[in-house]
Amino acid sequence: MAGAREVGPANPDERLEVSVRLRSRAGKKPALGAEALAQPLEQRKLLTRDQLEKQHGADPASIRQIEAFAQAHGLSVVEASAARRTVVLSGTVATMSKAFGVELKQFEHPNGTYRGRTGPVHIPAELQDTIEGVFGLDNRPQAKPHFRRTRAHASSASYTPLQVANAYHFPAGTDGSGECIALIELGGGYKPADLTNYFKQLNLSTTPKVSAVSVDHGKNHPTGSPDGPDGEVMLDIEVAGAVAPGAKIVVYFAPNTDAGFLDAITTAIHDKTNQPTVVSISWGGPESSWTSQAMTSMDEAFQAAAALGITVCVAAGDDGSTDGVTDNLQHVDFPASSPFALACGGTRLTATGSTISSETVWNELANNEGATGGGISDFFALPTFQAGTKVPPSANPGNHVGRGVPDVAGDADPATGYVTRVDGQPDVIGGTSAVAPLWAGLIARLNQKLQTPVGYANPLLYGEAEKAGAFHDITSGNNGAYKAGPGWDACTGLGTPSGTGILSALAPPKAQARKTGT
């Protein structure tokens, strides 16, 4: 980590768990090809979780290989999942170091100490076609939450999530019933009493049902500090729950490590009990802070979500076009930069009822109050759905053309932020962290109305929805290196939603005909 200092070897007797990610039994063949995923909703042929596991899960023989590897190196098998393509191993620093040919050390950082490594992870040659990635040898904080608090004197307006949904014309007569929204959280927690009081104040006709799932020993653990991750957790639940109160809200808590993050995502996607149809992620970090194996494995997990008809909404970051990196270059945030994620940028919104009087790019960098992330990926190529979108070259030397971020946007400026309740206190919070659960709630309501999952939304939104003018195009402002303008831009993507417009654009022709009586 930038600013970290090595202080010595890691304690050889310290116990840790490592997640070994296995290759798909189908090799590099995607679960559903790009052509299939780009089809209109009524023509898509999705997989069930059982079908995905059978066709693209880990081969049982591969799991047996890892179990034999563990036994040979004095490691214990904690868990093995063919669907998640993951085997969790337990052992000491000493045994793990020997098994994977690494030297684990202790580092000091202004934000705390962590166990880390440099150089490659080594695996036996006979496992090179079995193992895709090894996660958890280091436990440095991998991501940060993308929420921003307003200064007490800086709020020019604040809105409940319901008021924002009204401004964006979320479809009437929908509440997300029958859907499940998964929230990925890497710290903090929620207090049920706070949620009860908050939703009661909104006078919701339906009280959202919220539950927690533990991943890699993570758990619902409120810190009692509104400035900590509790703010993120409560914001996510309150926004998603308020705009889609009929949906089941399931919060997956995991440690803030690359292993924890990946395991939380794969656990949610392959959860046969809760069966999420939407995943909301408000955590991330600059692409430069991730290993290629982590980005590859997480992107593959999102591809699996697409094959199942799950939409993954991800916050695009709160530090403008640099994503907070101080190397004088532009960076985009991951996992928002995955082409299989719906990357959510931020605006500054002024609205009354269902009328928007002003909406510009969120940029308060001059006041050290953040700005929407956005730009051009250095890791992912330009996806097919953006081919006709006039994505500009990167502002970095070399002018690389890659995946453009974000795809869509929503109110994020803390000065026009969301009324929330955190650790017993009322609060106003913004950031692109609010936009991911907002879009997740919208997707849940669209799923309900369409009676089919939107799933991999990007080709649909860049296709029929864009053509139908189902977005409020944001043409004023910048996030540093990139400016807003007509059509897609690297600040707010396609724009903010007109929920009824998107619904109309995505509805199958027969459904549209029934509505018009033709």
Q: What confidence tens digit (pLDDT) does each residue in 297-352 have? A: 999 999 999 999 999 999 999 999 999 999 999 999 999 999 999 999 999 999 99
Instruction: Indicate the pLDDT class of residue 267, thresholds 50, 70 and 90.
Output: very high
153 pLDDT more than 70: no
Which of 84, 107, 135 is at the close of a domain?
Answer: 135
Tracing tokens 């991501």 back to the chain, one arrives at: 143
Q: How far is CA 456 from CA 33, 44, 193, 307, in A?
A: 12, 10, 35, 8
Looking at the structure of the chain, the number of domains it has is: 2
429 DSSP 8-state letter: E
Please provide the distance, in angstroms rounded to a whole number, between the alpha carbons at the two ends of the chain.
Answer: 61
Q: Looking at the structure, do residues 165 and 276 belong to the same domain, yes or no?
A: yes
Instruction: Indicate the pLDDT class of residue 511, thresholds 50, 70 and 90.
Output: very low
Q: Does a structural domain hold residue 49?
A: no
Distance, in Å, from the CA atom of 343 to the CA atom of 405, rounded to the nearest integer, reads 6
Is 14 a catalytic site residue?
no
Distance, in Å, from the CA atom of 459 to the CA atom of 502, rounded to the nearest integer, reads 13
Q: Looking at the structure, do residues 266 and 195 belong to the same domain, yes or no?
A: yes
Structure tokens of 447?
A: 């799923």
Q: Which of 232, 318, 359, 364 is catalytic?
A: 232
Q: List, in order, residues 6 or more apart from 477 with CB less than 8 Å away.
A: 348, 360, 361, 362, 363, 483, 484, 491
Q: Looking at the structure, do residues 432 and 292 belong to the same domain, yes or no?
A: yes
481 pLDDT more than 80: yes
Distance, in Å, from the CA atom of 135 to the CA atom of 265, rounded to the nearest integer, reads 14
Q: Looking at the structure, do residues 119 and 165 belong to the same domain, yes or no?
A: no
Q: Does a structural domain hold residue 510?
A: no
Q: Give me the mean pLDDT over the 487-503 stretch.
A: 98
Structure tokens of 50?
A: 């059982």
**Residue 186 and residue 143 in contact, taking contact as beta carbons nearer than 8 Å:** yes
Q: Looking at the structure, do residues 148 and 108 belong to the same domain, yes or no?
A: no
Write down the number of H helices and E strands in the chain: 14, 25
Q: Does a structural domain hold residue 289?
A: yes
What are the φ and ψ backbone dihedral angles of 434, each rounded to 5 degrees? -80, -25
Q: Which of 433, 466, 489, 498 is catalytic?
A: 433
**Residue 317 and residue 336 in contact, taking contact as beta carbons nearer than 8 Å:** yes
Q: Does a structural domain hold residue 69?
A: yes
Q: Looking at the structure, do residues 384 and 267 belong to the same domain, yes or no?
A: yes
User: 116: domain CATH number?
Assistant: 3.30.70
Q: Give me the mean pLDDT over the 235-258 stretch.
A: 98
Q: List, in order, residues 6 or more apart from 327 with CB less than 8 Å away.
A: none
Q: Looking at the structure, do residues 96 and 75 belong to the same domain, yes or no?
A: yes
Please give the residue that has the higher pLDDT: either 172 or 228: 172
Domain that holds residue 112: 5-23+58-135
Is 81 a catalytic site residue?
no
Q: Does a structural domain hold residue 352?
A: yes
415 DSSP 8-state letter: G
**Residue 93 and residue 14 in contact, taking contact as beta carbons nearer than 8 Å:** yes
Q: Looking at the structure, do residues 197 and 284 belong to the same domain, yes or no?
A: yes
Mind listing the pLDDT tens digit for each residue in 434-470? 999 999 999 999 999 999 999 999 999 998 899 999 9
Q: Looking at the structure, do residues 235 and 154 belong to the same domain, yes or no?
A: yes
Least Cα distance to 174 among 447, 452, 445 occurs for: 445
Q: Looking at the structure, do residues 97 and 190 belong to the same domain, yes or no?
A: no
Q: Does a structural domain hold residue 408?
A: yes
Which of 108, 135, 162 is at the close of a domain?
Answer: 135
Q: Looking at the structure, do residues 336 and 428 belong to the same domain, yes or no?
A: yes
108 pLDDT more than 50: yes
Task: Count CB atoms within 10 A of the CB of residue 292.
Answer: 10
Q: Does a structural domain hold residue 514?
A: no
518 pLDDT more than 50: no
Distance, in Å, from the CA atom of 66 to the CA atom of 60, rounded to the nearest integer, reads 10
Q: Give me the mean pLDDT over the 346-373 stretch.
A: 95
Least Cα distance to 159 among 354, 430, 420, 419 occurs for: 419
Q: b/e per residue, 427-452, with b = 16+ CB within 10 A?
A: bbbbbbbbbbbbbbbbbbbbbbbbeb
512 pLDDT more than 70: no
Distance, in Å, from the CA atom of 35 to the CA atom of 37, rounded to the nearest integer, reads 6
Q: Looking at the structure, do residues 254 and 338 belong to the same domain, yes or no?
A: yes
Residue type, 284: G
152 pLDDT more than 70: no
**Residue 157 and residue 415 in contact, taking contact as beta carbons nearer than 8 Å:** yes
What are the φ and ψ backbone dihedral angles of 364, each rounded to 5 degrees? -120, 30
151 pLDDT more than 60: yes
Please report, to the nearest 10 degrees, the dihedral formed by the alpha carbons of residues 230, 233, 235, 241 taken in order: -140
516 pLDDT more than 80: no
Q: Which of 53, 185, 236, 489 is catalytic?
A: 236
Which of 135, 160, 183 is at the close of a domain?
Answer: 135
Residue type, 350: T
Mean pLDDT across the chain: 94
Distance, in Å, from the CA atom of 214 to the CA atom of 253, rounded to the nearest integer, reads 5
Please give the residue that has the higher pLDDT: either 36 or 393: 393
**Residue 405 and residue 395 in contact, taking contact as beta carbons nearer than 8 Å:** no
34 pLDDT more than 50: yes
For the chain, give the percent of residues with pLDDT over 90: 87
* Cα–Cα–Cα angle for 468, 473, 476, rounded to 5 degrees: 165
Q: Does a structural domain hold residue 126?
A: yes
Q: Kind and range of the H or E element at 252? A: strand 248-253
What is this structure's pTM? 0.96
Res 38: pLDDT: 76
**Residue 375 and residue 482 in contact, taking contact as beta carbons nearer than 8 Å:** yes
Is 158 a catalytic site residue?
no
Res 85: pLDDT: 97
Instruction: Indicate the pLDDT class of residue 513, thresholds 50, 70 and 90.
Output: very low
What are the φ and ψ backbone dihedral angles of 211, each rounded to 5 degrees? -140, 165
